[in-house]
Chains A and B, each alone.
Chain A
Amino acid sequence: MKAQVKANELLLENKAFIEKPNKQWFIRVFVLAVLICIGLYALVLQVIEGHLITGMRDNVVWGVYIVNFVFILGLSYAGALIAGVFHLARVEWAKPLQRILKLITVFSLIVGPIYILLCLGRPERLFNLFLYPRIQSPITWDLIAILTDLIFCVVYLYFTYIKDFALLRDNSNSLNLYGWRKKLYKFLALGYQNTPEQTKLLNQALDIMAAIIIPTSIIAYSLLAWLFGMNLKVGWHSAMTAPFFVLSAVYSGIALLIIIMWIYRKTQKLEKVFTDNHFLYLGFALVILSLFYGYFYFSQYITDWYNLQETANRLLDKYLDFSQYGFHFSIAIFLVAFLPSIIIGLPWFRSINSIVLTSVLVLAGLWVMRYLMIVPVLETPYLPMQDFRESWVHYSATWIEWSLTIAGISAFILFFIVASKFAPIIPISEMLEKKGENKLVIFYKTRRKLSKK
């Protein structure tokens, strides 16, 4: 009961952020809506005039769109993976982060796949994927995986909201809310009354979901990686692809988590919830992941370096040639593989702001690394590119692609703004559960005794 009282207190303490929105909130939504509309205008142009107005051509058939697709879905799988592991391992300090992680998962799972639709020459024929499915194609795997993951993650997100919806329902009279919201909370809380029986059931469901989300996200992101790995292209056709993708995903997920945590700490004054320790722990995670990233990258490219195959050489030369991708490559690899160690790993530059700044730079660097993993490879086919049209040889994204990229990011932010208005950004009920109260239930009990007493 004590926890319940505390929860009510915490909710009322932060009630300003979920009550009726003010002017500032509407301005933010408006600005984002305008950015999304610009993207929609670009989309309409693309549909009417065809893909010729993008930078994509016969060699670089996938451009910024697929980079965004891979990058954003990476964030999603990272969110699910980290949330699931933290939940099952009952990591106490990570409890306040759970909601942000799950929101990242769901929102990027909604935004990400839009970019693959933008890549399609005939998006209106998408139903052919269900009419004539071929399991041999990595795209079919991907479709199944993304759909499964989206359903699982949306349901999981909802499950984690149930306790808080019940809290909101019980406190709705002391909050300044629209009437429809009160009704909605009552409906969504599913009659959760915090009875021990109900709590046990819900906790079991949450454990099951966390357990299935972890393998689903790993499999789904590996399948996405095999979209490239199953290709005969030099630079993609590597067994490294899937593990490397999963690692980069977790890395980018942690970086984004730090940024979003910082934004809510600043705007909603959650210093007591998102403590300095959170930044420190996640910052160290960033350092470790950056070292892993460096290790993976090094082992991939040192093998390529020793490889003398002509096309592989041509590709490697592009990364090292400063008139081509040399600058992008050296800056991006510095950001993702070395910067966290220097800024966070060493004691002299370490601070909340520097950790956040590093996260921003790492996120940008990881996006560029994705770009470098996709575009130069497509620009390096086995046959020489003997086209007299410059745009056919070298890819450069047009404003259509950039504005749709910005629209996607805006939509992601907008989802967060609306979601954090609808319910607290921190899982209040879950946070206040006592340590050891929520024990892990083992479903498949061992039939024999594991050890003789």
Chain B
Amino acid sequence: MKDKKGNSRRKFLSAGLKIGVATAAGGLAAANVFEEPPTKGEKIKVLTTDGTVIEVEKPVTDCKINPCVPAKGVEARKGIPGRSFVMVIDLAKCKNARKCVESCQKGHDLLPDQELMKVYLMKDNPESEPFWFPKNCFHCDNPPCVKVCPVGATFKRTDNIVLVDADRCIGCKFCISACPYSARILNWADKESYASNDPSYSPETQVPGQHGTVSKCDFCPDRARVGKLPYCASSCPMGAIYFGDKNEDAVTNGEETLRFKELIKERVGYRYLEELGTEPNVYYLPPVNRMFPYERGFSKLSEEQKEILLNSISKP
């Protein structure tokens, strides 16, 4: 307790010092100098068998895979042993709420126009109803992007994940053009938060980003290590995105957990452009028995944007 007090006093002093400097500098806004004081509820109380109450630290993370921290360097190229990550997207549930896109951007420190997860409006044939099609990297088992990389900056791991090591990437963009699913992007613009060869960088988190290098969906293995679903799957309000481990034969959207093989078998799950032989690890459940009409997805779009989408699918 003493320690904590001392700490807060130091903080107070430093805040006061800052205010002093700020006012001396000429009445600058000093309000934001105050730091949020720590709350008193950061510890958990335990009522022991003999009736006394003790305080213990809150468990920081729910560690599921050892090590819990994102792998770096050579370790990041190996993959989590015994895992085989797979995603299932239920097209019947998607209404273009774009929460997956937004949370992914937030989690990966992306600019608003950089989308690792994109939501397309698709139509299979002229007679069928359009549907919304969320698309990230498919983490193919035979990835055409990895084949063409001249420096091995992008690699396939044993846990199915295809990652980019931005510290090694030379930005030749060959992988972007080699990907038939348009899953890769380049960090075209420089950003303040970007840093090259940063010690905290891990290909599993892709943070901090690097200017002029390739970025892509990473299936969030750093979150899997602490038992969390990827940003997209955990943020979908409709629970359309299921994620899991194929070796465990289970996928979950956070609400329900289903058996992967049964789900694909019964709902006739398919993989996009199966004929290319890339063997994706993202499966789609056909948009049958929809929960909403597809027009619901236009609610956030302007008329002009709506037209662009409809035009792009009207002449396939």
> Smallest Cβ distance from A115 to chain B, in angstroms?
12
Contacts of B186 in A (CB 8 A): 51, 58, 61, 121
Decide if B212 touches A51 in the complex (CB within 8 Å): yes
CB contact list, A363-385 vs B, under 8 A: 378, 381-385
B182 touches A383 (CB 8 A): yes
- Contact between chains at A61 and B148 (CB < 8 Å): no
Q: Which of A125, A133, A139, A381 has the largest number of chain B CB atoms within 10 A?
A: A125
Residues of B108-125 whose CB lies within 8 A of A? 113, 118, 120-122
Within 8 A of A (CB), among B250-290: 273, 276, 278
Check if A2 is an interface residue, CB within 8 A of chain B: no
The reply to whether B150 and A143 form a contact with Cβ atoms under 8 Å apart is yes
CB distance from A220 to the nearest CB of B (A): 16
Q: Select which of A59, A138, A231, A386 is within 8 A of B312 by beta carbon.
A: A386
Contact A385 to B177, CB < 8 A, known contacts A50-B212, A129-B151, A140-B150:
no
- Does A119 sit at the interface, judged by CB under 8 A? yes
Task: Determine if A52 and B189 form an interchain contact, defined as CB atoms under 8 angstroms apart.
Answer: yes
CB of A338, distance to nearest CB on chain B (Å) = 31
B188 at the interface (CB under 8 A from A): yes
Q: Fill in one digit per residue for B173-191: 1 if any A CB lies within 8 Å of its CB, else 0.
A: 1101111111011111110
* Residue pair B213, A52 in contact (C-beta under 8 Å): no
Question: Quick one: CB contact mask for A266-302 with B, threshold 8 Å, 1 for yes?
Answer: 0000000000000000000000000000000000000
Contact of B151 with A134 in the complex, beta carbons under 8 Å? yes
Task: Flag if A58 contacts B147 (CB, 8 Å).
Answer: no
A306 sits at the interface (CB 8 A): no
Known: A139-B150, A143-B150, A382-B180. A125 touches B188 (CB 8 A): no
Contacts of A140 in B (CB 8 A): 150
Looking at the complex, which one of B172, B174, B182, B308 makes contact with A58 (CB distance below 8 Å)?
B182
Q: Which residues of B have CB within 8 Å of A314?
A: 316
Does B237 sit at the interface, judged by CB under 8 A? no
Q: Mark A54-66, 1 if CB is under 8 A from B, else 0.
A: 0011110110000
Contact A50 B189 (CB under 8 A): yes
Residue among A126, A143, A314, A386 with most chain B CB within 10 A: A386
The proximity string for A residues 124-144 relative to B, scoring 1 for CB distances below 8 Å and 0 otherwise, is 011011011110111110010
Q: How many A-B residue pairs have CB under 8 A?
A: 135
Stretch at the interface among B7-15, B30-38, B163-171, B198-206: B163-171
Residue of A nearest to B149 (CB): A137
Complex CA gap A51/B212 in Å reads: 8
**Does B239 interact with chain A (Cβ within 8 Å)?**
no
Q: Are A386 and B120 in contact (CB under 8 A)?
A: yes
Query: Does any Cβ of B come within 8 Å of A122's Cβ?
Result: yes
A231 near B178 with CB under 8 A, answer yes
B107 in contact (CB, < 8 A) = no
Q: Please, how many angstroms separate the alpha-carbon atoms of A94 and B264 in the complex? A: 69
Docked complex Cα distance between A232 and B151 (Å) = 20
Q: Is A233 an interface residue (CB 8 A)?
A: yes
Cα distance, A289 to B182, chains bound together (Å): 37
How far apart sit A59 and B186, CA to CA, in the bound complex (Å)? 10
Encoded as 1 (CB less than 8 Å from any B CB) or 0, chain A from 219 to 234 comes to 0000000010011110
Residues of A within 8 A of B (CB-CB), count? 46
B-chain residues with CB within 8 Å of residue A231 when the two chains form the complex: 144, 148, 177-178
- B185 near A128 (CB under 8 angstroms)? no
Chain A, residue nearest B119 (CB): A386
B305 contacts A388, C-beta separation under 8 Å: yes
Contacts of B172 in A (CB 8 A): 116, 119-121, 139
Cα distance A139–B182 when bound, in Å?
20
A13 on interface, CB distance cutoff 8 Å: no
Q: How far is the CB of B312 from chain A (nearest CB, A)?
A: 4
| A310 on interface, CB distance cutoff 8 Å | yes
Which of chain B's residues 91-141 have a Cβ closer than 8 Å to chain A?
A: 113, 118, 120-122, 135
Q: Which of B174, B176, B177 has the most CB of A within 10 A?
A: B177
- Does A389 interact with chain B (Cβ within 8 Å)? yes
Q: Is residue B152 contacting chain A, with contact meaning CB distance below 8 A?
A: yes
Tell me whether A137 and B174 are in contact (CB under 8 A). yes
B313 at the interface (CB under 8 A from A): yes
Q: Which residues of A contact B174 (CB under 8 A)?
A: 137-139, 227
Identity of the chain B residue whose Cβ is nearest the Cβ of A138 in the assembled complex: B148
Residue of A with least CB distance to B123: A384
B157 contacts chain A at the CB level, 8 A cutoff? no
| C-alpha spacing A56/B185, complex, angstroms | 12
Kindly identify, within residues 27 to 63 of chain A, every residue whose CB is under 8 Å from any CB belonging to chain B: 49-52, 56-59, 61-62
**Given A119-B172, A121-B173, A122-B171, A386 and B308 contact (CB-CB distance below 8 Å):** yes
Identify the closest chain B residue to A374 (Cβ).
Answer: B177
Q: In the docked arrangement, what's the CA distance between A61 and B176, Å?
A: 7
| Other-chain contact of A128, B144, B170, B211, B308 (Cβ < 8 Å) | B170
Nearest CB in chain A: distance from B83 CB, A: 25
Who on chain B is nearest to A126 by CB? B170
Between-chain CB contacts (< 8 Å), 18 pairs: A50-B211, A58-B188, A62-B173, A120-B171, A121-B214, A122-B213, A125-B171, A128-B151, A129-B150, A134-B151, A139-B150, A139-B174, A140-B150, A232-B179, A232-B278, A314-B316, A383-B182, A389-B113
Name A residues whose Cβ lies closer than 8 Å to a Cβ of B: 49-52, 56-59, 61-62, 116, 119-123, 125-126, 128-129, 131-134, 136-140, 143, 227, 230-233, 310, 314, 378, 381-386, 388-389
Question: Residues on B close to A: CB < 8 A?
Answer: 113, 118, 120-122, 135, 144, 147-153, 168-174, 176-182, 184-190, 210-214, 273, 276, 278, 305, 308-309, 312-313, 316
13 further interface pairs, Cβ-Cβ under 8 Å (given A58-B188, A62-B173, A227-B174): A50-B190, A56-B188, A61-B173, A121-B172, A121-B212, A137-B147, A138-B148, A139-B174, A230-B147, A231-B144, A232-B178, A386-B120, A388-B305
